[in-house]
Structure 1
Amino acid sequence: MKNDIDIKSLWKGQQVPVIDLSAVRKKIKYFRLRRMGESCAVIMLMMLALASGVTVWIHWSPLLSVTKAGIILLSIGFMLPVLSYGRQLRLYYGLKTDCSNVDYMSNLLKIKKQEHRQQHIVLNLYFLFLSLGFSFYTYEYTFYHSSPRGIIAYSVLLSWISLNWFVFRPYIIKKRNRRFSKLVKCIESHRDILMKH
């Protein structure tokens, strides 16, 4: 009686599962369109905030130079995301479905570097300029009021700044990283096949 089984022939005879690349391409397309929409929304919101800062300066002319400095710092803070998301928008626009898979991968790496820079440099500078800008801007309005009102106003402002720095900023970074890392893992798992097609 022969109990030996030829494992090599069984292994060679196995069907190789076909990987559905259309699902990967749909994920990439959905991700690309979503990020382009987010970038456009952020750019429009920041431009609206910048326009309202200019309107405040023109219609309610600040008396103290500290208030003007606050408006300038806020404007710089609002321009940083506009420039960063504008660059990111161009990179996502370059991530087209009709380009080769090698170009896809190189564009994704550029986007990953841009997002890393955006999360670690631009977002920190954005919150820094906003924190300083609001601190300077509210000085004039608390200066002419009594001390308890000024203390309350700055306490609320510091609470808001702390909430931004320690709650909103880490949440935004984690959320964006989680979405991007899911896409990169999906692409990395199919990288060899994508490079061949």
Structure 2
Amino acid sequence: MDTNIDFKKIWNTQEVQKLEIADLYKKADRLKRYKRYQLMGANAILLITSCIIGGIWYRYQPEYVTTKIGLVLAILAMIIFLIPYNRWISLLKTNEGDNNKTYLRQLMQLKQKQIFQQKWMLSIYFVMLSLGIALYLFEYVSKMTGFWGIVVYTATLLWIGINWWYLRPRVIKKQNAKLDELLQKFEELNNQIQE
């Protein structure tokens, strides 16, 4: 009886494990591709919105300084949100030669950046944008009757509240679930290989 057992050879002959690893890499690549498209979409939408805001400023020439400050705050909020978000680009590149430790490290860095973006930058974005909208509306609401002014501000605050307390947490939870699932599987894979 041969006592010299090659465990590495036995491990490598497991077909199910190889398919699972390949599937895991595909899921990670799909997530990175999805995040790249999401990044490009956010850039396009926020830059177009900033141009529209600038066009409104140019076209309608607001009289009150509060309106101008509101427009500047809205544009600044978008730029401040995009600056750290665009730093994700290096983590979203897919290299064919990357091993599972590299994927795990990149996913962990992506998770840290995503948490920072969700916790701090999104909060700053919402506060600045809300304040900008409130200041922008002041000039036009001041020309309305009291009833319609209250209606406009109530509707605006209601929409901001729905975005902050309902939509934002759902989006954050969904984004974190996808990334957490991949992180967990890569950690399990690394632990199996190290054992």
Bucket of the pairwise TM-score, normalised by the shorter protein: 0.7 to 0.9
Q: Retained in 2: the 8 A contact 1:29–1:97?
A: no
Taking the aligned partners of 1:33 and 1:195, their CA distance within structure 2 comes to 29
User: Aligned partner of 1:150: which letter?
Assistant: G
Identity across matched positions, percent: 24
Task: Tell me the CA shift for residue 180 of structure 1.
Answer: 0.8
SS in 2 for 1:97: coil
Structure 1 ranges of 4+ moved more than 3 A: 15-18, 192-196
Taking the aligned partners of 1:129 and 1:58, their CA distance within structure 2 comes to 21
Larger RCO: 1 or 2 (CA < 8 Å, sep 6+): 2
Note the aligned Cα RMSD (angstroms).
2.1
Q: Retained in 2: the 8 A contact 1:66–1:139?
A: yes
**Paired residue for 2:86?**
86
Superposition pairs of residues 16-35 of structure 1, within 5 angstroms: 17-18=14-15, 19-20=17-18, 21-35=21-35
Task: Tell me the CA shift for residue 102 of structure 1.
Answer: 3.1
Task: Tell me the CA shift for residue 91 of structure 1.
Answer: 1.9
Task: Tell me the CA shift for residue 30 of structure 1.
Answer: 0.9
Rate the CA distance shift 1:53–1:33 in 2: closer, same or farther, 3 A. same
In the alignment, structure 1 residue 163 sits paired with structure 2 residue 150: no
**Paired residue for 2:146?**
147
Q: Retained in 1: the 8 A contact 2:100–2:186?
A: no
User: Which deviates more, 104-113 or 54-63?
Assistant: 104-113
User: Aligned partner of 2:126: which letter?
Assistant: F
TM-score (norm 2): 0.86
Structure whose alpha-carbon radius of gyration is higher: 1
User: Aligned partner of 1:112: which letter?
Assistant: K
**Paired residue for 1:130?**
129
**Paired residue for 2:173?**
174
Task: Tell me the CA shift for residue 188 of structure 1.
Answer: 1.4
Taking the aligned partners of 1:108 and 1:195, their CA distance within structure 2 comes to 19
Deviations 1:90-147 (A, max 9, x none): 3212x42323433333222221111110010011111111111111111111011111
**Paired residue for 2:61?**
61
Q: Retained in 1: the 8 A contact 2:104–2:187?
A: no
User: Which deviates more, 161-170 or 186-195?
Assistant: 186-195
Q: Retained in 2: the 8 A contact 1:42–1:85?
A: no
Superposition pairs of residues 30-41 of structure 1, within 5 angstroms: 30-41=30-41
**Paired residue for 2:4?**
none
- How many residues align structurally? 182
Task: Tell me the CA shift for residue 150 of structure 1.
Answer: 0.5
Taking the aligned partners of 1:192 and 1:53, their CA distance within structure 2 comes to 51
Stretches of structure 1 lacking an aligned partner (at least 5 in a row): 1-11
Deviations 1:120-179 (A, max 9, x none): 001111111111111111111101111111111111111111111111111121111111
Q: Retained in 1: the 8 A contact 2:88–2:110?
A: yes
Deviations 1:46-89 (A, max 9, x none): 11111111111111111000001110110111112321221112
Rate the CA distance shift 1:46–1:54 in 2: closer, same or farther, 3 A. same
Taking the aligned partners of 1:194 and 1:86, their CA distance within structure 2 comes to 34
User: Which deviates more, 17-26 or 108-117?
Assistant: 17-26
